[in-house]
Structure 1
Amino acid sequence: MSAPRARLSAILLAACLLFTGQALATPQGAAAADPGYLMVHFTGEGSTNQQMYLSHSTDGVHWNDLNGGGMVLRSTVGTKGVRDPAFVRSPDGSKYWIIATDLCIDCGQTWSQSINDGSRNLVVWESTDLVTWSQPRLLNVAGAIPDGRNAWAPEAIWDPAGNDYVLYWATNKPLNGATKHRIYYSHTSDFRSVSTPQIYIDRPGAQEIIDTQIVEVPSGVGNYRYVRASGDGQITLEGSNSILGTWTDLGDLSGIGLTGSQVEGPMWMKFNGANKWALYLDQYASSGGYMPVVTTDPSNPAAYQKQASSSYDMGGTKKRHGWIMNLTAAEESRVLARWPNTAANRLQSYNFQDRYVRHADFDARIDPNVSPVQDSQFRLRTGLTGSGAVSFESVNFPGYFLRHSDFDFQLAYNDGTDTFAQDATFRQVAGLADSTWSSFQSVNHPDRYIRHYAYELKLAPITNATGRGDATFRVTS
């Protein structure tokens, strides 16, 4: 081989090796990111804040409020308020539940009433897809506890040993006339009926325990299959190899300056793709909301590390005692599609411009001076029958939509049927009285439009100028 050809061959060989090395080091197209995390929580006191809210994170430490920071589920049962929610996912992923405390402080009960004569029920929602939820129902868990005064902060975990769920919560059963919350448990397979409650955790003497949450730890990390964190004057860590077996005291977080007088509501989260966990703690004493402490071994108190406030972001709403679920890609896609940050809007009447569409006792009409204003606020969702149309979801009764029934309008809970979707979906067209405004044409009765008649909302054909004015609205904030 001649010298020039040898040099050329060497150059081509080097180039091939270079490109081969780059091909081995560089992925062929961007790898799909791991799906993220979904937090269910409440946001504070009052009838609006003590409802169900959702937040999403892609990395587990930076959170975005879903649904524009508005509630996603509202309790219409019991005290009509909910706190301390927990997600439950069935082992096969075919069913989900949200369980929560039936409690509405400052909107029906004081703290003293709730402690001494509160609801013995939990509030339960059920779903098969994580986005379409049943109406809330009450589950009596503490009624069978002699002198049990309430039921707070529920949690549940699948127990392979019993082939069912261990449902656990705190109940005040006074000791010598003084408040004494202990953790009780029952077995359930469907969150509709429960076994007779038994004591699960009872601290010595007068010491109470209210919040506890269990995380399952993979083999090879620490010495225990399960670790639970509890608020009992400290944030106490315990380990066990079975949910209903013997639990060993592992210590607390006082060594990193966190005690039960400062924080409560422990909430576990495992980071995707790593043996690394965050234990979120609610800074209730300072009203600071949640903060994460991070560990690579949940069973070792010395392994926990506080995080700088600049390293996490809890989003626009305050996060109060909740639960975090690691999402699958399909779950994440459904959740983000169901609760985008759609603005809250009002529908202003064209010919009575001081009046707005509102719901009142689930009837739909136009009124001036609507109070609370949320009764006249709706999110214009992608139509329940599909794109190209809109459906009107109530802001303060999420899951409820404006729908016609016998051509009269009401605010009704979406039952997931095709009939409901058709009755609650409309094409937004140029205003019949003014093309700069809007009119809304029924998808299943296209000869009819939303209009008001004697201030009541109706679905009717439009045949004259009065009807065109009655059927014209401005979408406004």
Structure 2
Amino acid sequence: MNPHVPGRAMPSRRLFLGAAAATTAALAVDLSLGAPPAHAADSAYVMGYFTESPSGLGTDYGLHLAVSTDSLDWTPLNQNNPVVTPTAGAGGLRDPFIMRKRDGGFIVLATDLKGTDWGHNSQTIHVWDSADLRTFTNYRRPHLHDMVTHSWAPEAFWDASRGQYAILYSAVNSTGHNVLMVNHTSDFTTVSAPQVFFDPGYDVIDGDMAVGVNGVNHLYFKRNGTLVGARSTSLNPGSFTPFGTAVSHGGTEAPTLVKSLTSNTWYLWGDTYTPNGVLYAWQTTDLAAGTWTPVDQKLYTHPVNAKHCTIAPITAAEHGNLLARWGAPAWNRLKSYNHPARYVRHADYLARIDTYPFDPYTDAQWKLVPGLADSSGVSFQSVSHPTRYLRHYDYQVRLDANDGTAVFAQDATFHRVAGLADASWSSFRSHNHPTRYIRHSGYALRVDPVGTATDRADATFSVGH
């Protein structure tokens, strides 16, 4: 389906329950508001997503996971490969959603759709149980409705007034446009008859909820390529009223609300259209105001090729166990400090910074290995061309095959130091030209002397994933 045709829209995901807090005192959760069980040790986050890249090289319609300690800087797990993939229905998923259930375990929901076959009208969704997001059990596909339409971007929340979970999703009903539907369930296997949950009279998809925030329930959704809010003091179908100011970064969908575990800050993540899409984030300290400020891209890095994310709080132990089970990537990406939408990559064997996303996406992945000329330094081994390393030649940085000579080893060795523009970032000093640093100039990488503030910013990078 073409996402730019009125009344037609791409599916997505989302839903973060309530406000987990950073301290035991702040975790006096009022279950009457439908908030999740208190987890005093919650101090980290897990993200679920699927992947797409511009030419499809990084596309995979399985469940991918990443972890973070601040909900902004993400470490993909399992080398950014899926941890589980549907075995029935369309054979793939979009729009995964992860929620901690009231028994302490997790439920995983997802759209039954592989790729972009928008005409695939599945009345079912994918569901797994998981005790720890390291194993996934009881795979099933509950039937939500009998309409000739889809069941996109399923999410869930606990409705205390009914003593059941609510499954929220997008479908076209008799109105002829997408609305948000709801079914209620105790086990995510047997569900109630569907009801229209939210129909403001125009096309809406991708509902994401924050339940029981100061007695108010907040619903964010996609409308005409923007992320818009609605709210209600109840969870009754038809009770939500739109409010606030819409946000977007171009055409944007898939809102994801996340409450910081250490401050009063809320984050709203959104996903731009098409395989060329990017995750962006906004923030507010007043969810009730309905106004958002873009987060500086210097402050967050999402997993490569990630689409339509879901974010849920986890404990430090769960964070560590997920890393132990699935492993952190064996590679890194380097992000420019003063052009944070751009990453270091090679193109035609020349090093440069280019705007993400691009294919081959592996051209921007590097193994930081002990320096070829000095093991206290670092050399950048290409993931896509593992016999080649970044080295300088006539002060230009390029990707060359290691010829085994001492000159090559020295040209390909750099010393990582505190960022010249920001000490929390990194700069890389040439081993054999110690007054010169890797920097970008006209987006091409060079080793140059650094003197001005602009030079220092050009020579500063983050090392992440």
Deviation string, structure 1 residues 36-81 (Cα, Å, up to 9, x no partner):
1100111127795111000111111111111111111111110001
Asked if structure 2 preserves the Cα contact closer than 8 Å seen for 1:142 and 1:150, the reply is no
1:214 and 2:206 correspond: no
Displacement of 1:328 after TM fit?
1.5
TM-score (norm. length: structure 2): 0.58
Residue in 2 that maps onto 1:425:
none
Displacement of 1:137 after TM fit?
1.9
Any idea what SS the aligned residue of 1:87 has? strand
CA RMSD of aligned residues (A): 2.5
**Letter matched to residue 44 of structure 2:** G
What count of residue pairs does the alignment treat as equivalent? 287
1:180 and 2:191 correspond: no
Asked if structure 1 preserves the Cα contact closer than 8 Å seen for 2:198 and 2:240, the reply is no
Asked if structure 2 preserves the Cα contact closer than 8 Å seen for 1:141 and 1:197, the reply is yes
Q: How is 1:85-124 mapped onto 2 (pairs within 5 angstroms)?
A: 85-93=96-104, 95-105=105-115, 110-111=117-118, 113-114=119-120, 118-124=121-127
Asked if structure 1 preserves the Cα contact closer than 8 Å seen for 2:41 and 2:316, the reply is no
- Separation in structure 1 between the aligned mates of residue 325 and residue 186 of structure 2, nearest angstrom: 28
Displacement of 1:129 after TM fit?
2.6
1:238 and 2:230 correspond: yes
Any idea what SS the aligned residue of 2:62 has? coil
- Separation in structure 2 between the aligned mates of residue 312 and residue 341 of structure 1, nearest angstrom: 18
- Separation in structure 2 between the aligned mates of residue 97 and residue 319 of structure 1, nearest angstrom: 20
Displacement of 1:331 after TM fit?
2.1
Q: How is 1:122-161 mapped onto 2 (pairs within 5 angstroms)?
A: 122-134=125-137, 136-143=139-146, 145=147, 148-161=148-161
Match of 2:295 among 298, 304, 307: 307
- Separation in structure 1 between the aligned mates of residue 42 and residue 87 of structure 2, nearest angstrom: 36
Match of 1:82 among 93, 98, 101: 93
Any idea what SS the aligned residue of 1:321 has? strand
**C-alpha distance 87-312 of structure 1, shift in aligned 2 (>3 A):** same
Asked if structure 2 preserves the Cα contact closer than 8 Å seen for 1:262 and 1:286, the reply is no
Which structure dedicates a bigger proportion of its chain to helix?
Answer: 1
Q: How is 1:323-402 mapped onto 2 (pairs within 5 angstroms)?
A: 323-341=310-328
Displacement of 1:123 after TM fit?
0.4
- Separation in structure 2 between the aligned mates of residue 91 and residue 136 of structure 1, nearest angstrom: 19
**Structure 2 unpaired stretches of 5+:** 1-39, 332-465
**Letter matched to residue 307 of structure 1:** V
Any idea what SS the aligned residue of 1:120 has? coil
- Separation in structure 2 between the aligned mates of residue 34 and residue 190 of structure 1, nearest angstrom: 25
1:318 and 2:305 correspond: yes
Residue in 1 that maps onto 2:68:
57
**Letter matched to residue 180 of structure 2:** I
Deviation string, structure 1 residues 242-296 (Cα, Å, up to 9, x no partner):
2226223212325xxx27x611000111111222110001022683321110011
TM-score (norm. length: structure 1): 0.56
**Letter matched to residue 82 of structure 2:** M
**Structure 1 unpaired stretches of 5+:** 1-31, 345-477
Asked if structure 1 preserves the Cα contact closer than 8 Å seen for 2:272 and 2:279, the reply is yes
Residue in 1 that maps onto 2:189:
192
- Separation in structure 2 between the aligned mates of residue 43 and residue 298 of structure 1, nearest angstrom: 29
Displacement of 1:200 after TM fit?
0.7
**Letter matched to residue 293 of structure 1:** W
**C-alpha distance 81-277 of structure 1, shift in aligned 2 (>3 A):** same
**C-alpha distance 305-286 of structure 1, shift in aligned 2 (>3 A):** farther
Match of 2:245 among 249, 252, 267: 252
Deviation string, structure 1 residues 142-199 (Cα, Å, up to 9, x no partner):
22x4xx3111110100111111101111112364xxx521111011010001000011
Any idea what SS the aligned residue of 1:337 has? helix
**Letter matched to residue 119 of structure 1:** S
Asked if structure 2 preserves the Cα contact closer than 8 Å seen for 1:88 and 1:96, the reply is yes
Asked if structure 1 preserves the Cα contact closer than 8 Å seen for 2:219 and 2:229, the reply is yes
- Separation in structure 1 between the aligned mates of residue 41 and residue 100 of structure 2, nearest angstrom: 22
Give me the identity figure in percent: 30
